[in-house]
Structure 1
Amino acid sequence: MSGVIVAMRRTLLSCTSLARNGLIALASAALLPIAPARAEDKGLAQAIAAYLDLDHQEFVILTTALALLGFSVVAAILLMRTRVRAARNEARLLSDIGDLQVQADRLRALLFAEPQILISWAAGDNRPQISGDTALLLAQDSPQRILAFGTWLPPEPALQMDHAVDALREAGEGFLLNLTTSNGHALEAMGRAIGGQAIVRIRELGGVRRELAETNFRLRALSEETEMLRGFAAAAPWPIWAKGAKGGLSYANAAYARATEAVSVADAIDRGLELLDSGDRGVMERTLKETSAFTARLPVVFGGERRIYDVHAMNVGGGSTGIAIDASEATALRAALERMAEAHRRTLDQLSSGVAVFDGQRRLAFYNDSYRRLWDLDRVFLDGNPDDSSVLDRLRAARKLPEQPDFRAWKAKLHEAYRAVEPEKDTWYLPDGRAVSVVTTPNPEGGVTYLFDDVTESLDLARRFDGLIRVQRETLDNLAEAVAVFGSNGRAQLFNPAFARMWKLSPEALREQPHIETVEAWCRPLFDDAATWRTIREAVTAIENRVEVPLKLERNDGSVLDCMTMPLPDGATMLTFQDITDTENVERALRERNEALETADQMKVDFVHHVSYELRSPLTTIIGFAHFLADPATGPLMPKQAEYLGYITASTNALLAIINNILDLATIDAGAMSLNLGSVDIRKTIEAAAEGIQDRLATDRIELKVDVDPNIGSFVGDERRVVQVLYNLLANAVGFSPQDATVGLSARRTEHSIVFTVTDSGPGIPPDVKDKVFDWFESHSHGSRHRGAGLGLSLVRSFVELHGGKVSVDSIVGNGTTVTCDFPTDQAAHRHAAE
């Protein structure tokens, strides 16, 4: 309205200016006669000048003056008329302006009769004009904050409003939004493009419009909630259904369709398929008519299987709804729980400990027969579920509780178990001389479980045991032998002063119950033999095969100890040490003299003859009969007989191999061994030797790695003896290799020989034993899983030397052993040199 008034004022000023310009134009028109006259008027002018006795110049001046005077008068008259007309126009315009102002005020009053806010943007102008009651949205007087929609709207409506305003200003798209402010007021926001301006009107809803907006809000919320509930019902794994007023199926979910074996939900509704059988369905319908709600656990056939469901139904509107929840597992668990509880009750009844369970109301919920017999209570009294205080009062009256100066305080302290978190243990000493161990355990549901044990005999045994222990301690402390007892956990439990003195140990350190490995570390400066200490550790920590192990220890200080490991019944192990240095010195001297008188060669010859003539013949007979019995033609054998026959065959074959090895060694030693020379295929020979140890490789999970040049060819030698050499080397390597290890066998040709190399990753050979590995009956069993007669390496050296070759051993303790056999390729040259 203010714009209209300003326009009217501008119009009035324009009219005044126009009037002034008109007067100026009239004055200019009056001066036109002053312009030079036309040619035909010159005679008249001259005549007038002559009449007035004026020359031409004076005449011109006179006429000019008269013209100016006349025109001045005319101009004055016209100016007065113009001013009067302008005054009239101005008065009329002022009257119109007043009318427009009144009309504008009336329209403004009408426009803002209700609280609202107007926001307008002119075309090309980003500065909005804001008018109206801004307190409708903001408490403080800051109109520009209206455009920060997030200050008075929740995030989602604020974003919606922001996008609508942007679309209005950029594309002229109108909008009408119903909004709810952060403080709960209902608003209407309308945007329109009018006269090149974007105008947004925000007003508070009231009356019918407010109710309509709130109804729309509730309708939208109910629609969303309904869609959510329908989605939940459709996806629920439980059958859900709804029926109309006439009892027909109006809704079902996918689980209902599966349960009724329908093709789809629509098929179940069209066919009116029912989940329950007719009897249960009739009961449900009658119950719904009477009480409007139905709950029962019913059997339902689902997928051909009879299962238990919890069925819930209720009347809703003019129809009913229902849901069936699978309770088969819960039913089975409940039955299992009841069976378990009954089993626990039967178990508790068999316990020797008295058990009494009081519930959260402190009343007796369970007791076993041991509890009744311990306190000699009447079964009728206990079956009446008495409270805890009544039981204690009865026991006190019968003088079966400990004598207390303040029984009330003692009972209150005992009943603190109902509010406790952890179990409590106590011992009651009864007037009749008995001692009863009492354990009070709080139950999760608020009750208490009492456990009573008569520990009278236990305490008496403990006293007697303590006396016995003291006697044993005095006995051990006065023994000359060193004694130490290690428990099943490997820790020292008992020792006497002789043990500490013999091994120069600190008694204070031994009282800390060190482990056997710690004691071993303390004793190693005097005796550092790993094998012996391992035997002692195994005797102390072994679980099975606990037997006495006698040992002899030669310490670094020159003393000799006789050690014995004695397993004890409680899982402990007793170690005894006796100093036998003097006895050992005498025995060693006698042994050395006796060994000097023996002749090893004569013993070997006698043994060979004995084996040859006394053992081989009956052994061959046994092997023959074993093969005869194993032949199916002889007749079937029972499984155990076949098993035992297999053991006999394996043992006799092993024994025959040992005898053959001994005979071979004796034959070689006597110079009677001859070689059956021929062409030896090196690759086939290696394969034959490897074939003989395949079972041991598989048993010990050892990999055999063979490295042979495909073109290595052959050489002249006794093929059978070469196979025997390689077999013994491989067997020895496998025996000393740990499980999951690798044994290597390689062959290479040099200028004059074939070199076989066998490598293992075993413990290696100590330097003091290395020179004895090729001796007869020398079995280096340290680190080997297979024990033998100690003839394998002796045969290896003998057969290799018969071929004119040589054997060498390279071994480092802890890094394995490598045995190298060098066979000459020119046997003729070797025989010539030998001769």
Structure 2
Amino acid sequence: MLAFALDMTEAEETRDTLRRHVEAHDETLNHLADAVAIFGPSKRLAFHNTAFQTLFNIDPAWLDERPTHAELLDRLRQRRLLPEVIDYAGWKANELDFYGAAEAAPDDSWSLPDGRTLRVVRQPHPLGGVLLLFSDITDELKLRSRFNAQIQVQKATLDKLNDAVAVFGSDGRIRLHNEAFDTFWGVSGEALDAAGDFDAVAALCQSTMPDPALWLGLKARVADPDPESRVPISGEGRTADGRIASWQTRPLPDGATLVAFSDITARRGLEQALAAKAQALEESTALKREFVGSVSYELRTPLTTIVGYSELLETQADLPERSRQHAGAIRVAASQLAGSIDDVLDMAQIDAGEMELTLGDVRVSDLLEEAAATVRERIEGRGAVLTVTCPTGLKPIRADAQRVGQALEYLLDNAARAVSEGGAVTLTAEAAPSEVRIRVEDTGRGIPYHLQAHVFDRFVKRERGGPGVGLALVKALVELHGGWAEVESEPGKGAAFILHLPLEAAGVAAPPELRLG
């Protein structure tokens, strides 16, 4: 009896221990995020965790009645929580055939009508029956789909690039490469994918670009985890077939490294050609400038002689009147030619960057009056009126009085040729916050619209004054002060030239000059 009592006590302790193990097991399964259902050898539900009831939203009381596996499938089908199949009876039979299997079945997936996707794991239970594990992988599939789509977009984008691009992960393995990369190195995409790590890829590419220092430097940027080493670098090299290649690396936020190669052989050839052309153009410009200067200086001596002798002839008392008129015409033409030569020399000096401004404080009113005095007689001789307007209290500007006066005299001379009897020429000045605007306006025939864009170009045929450099010189002199010139005209209604002069000229001053008090 004592032995029997001891056996009974040991059995109870064993059952109690087993019960505690089962409860602990069930409690553990209840804390899982995945849904778990265990069916016993009788194919009835022996256990389900909270996640199972939540996943399928089944009445807990009904589950406590321990339905059979077949009844559970029928209930889920009624609520449209099973995959929609044509032969439900055959599909259900396959689900129930797993009882008695010795090994776990391959993972399966259920696509539910509500859009969710479940991963289903079936495995035999140690105490008999079946253990089912359900995981909601809907978000995982969406994320994977978006990731794959992003990878495809990246590959499609890279394939459209002309540069050879490859992306290496932080582990040194190649992740992406475009078609240009395969073509640049003469290696198939399959060979690159099979190569895997950076060393194997470099071994495939070294036959095209055998510089070992290049590949060591690139490997340091790809494989070194030190943030200070993962900095963008670039360089150039020459391939075995004579091409010039530039390369650069860019660290990516996820720890990967982008490596790009470009064939710049044509670009370097074009740069050399452009450099040679620029040098030839510079030499040609210098030669032209030297030629213009030399010819202009050579012409000045005979012109001075012509002007002097023509003036002498005009003073001869016994010279017939007609001959005196001819001598005067020669003097005027020679003087005009001398003025044109001076304009060409000034332009050549400006183009060479050799003209310096003699800066001083210039009263704008005095500037206008002096310029008007040079052409007043001519304008009034044509029956026109010259009006000068300058506001009182206009402060002096820092400028080269001779050069600004030269520009105004040319504009006034241009206006004098344009006006006719009854016309008018106005010379006005107005102050602005940072500049003074001087306006020369006439009531002549104006400038056609198609010529206005080129009116300041040099050696261009114009309807006002013919070809020359006068207006181009005006523009250059104003720009030398840091200002600019513009034209306003309506054909048939005259033209206006406006000079925008800054209060402080930007040019380099010549030797110091006296300032006005």
- What TM-score do the two structures reach when normalised by structure 1? 0.28
Q: Which has the larger radius of gyration?
A: 1
The structure with the largest helix share of the pair is 1
- What TM-score do the two structures reach when normalised by structure 2? 0.44
Q: Determine which structure has greater relative contact order: mean sequence separation of CA pairs < 8 Å that are 6+ residues apart, divided by chain length.
A: 2
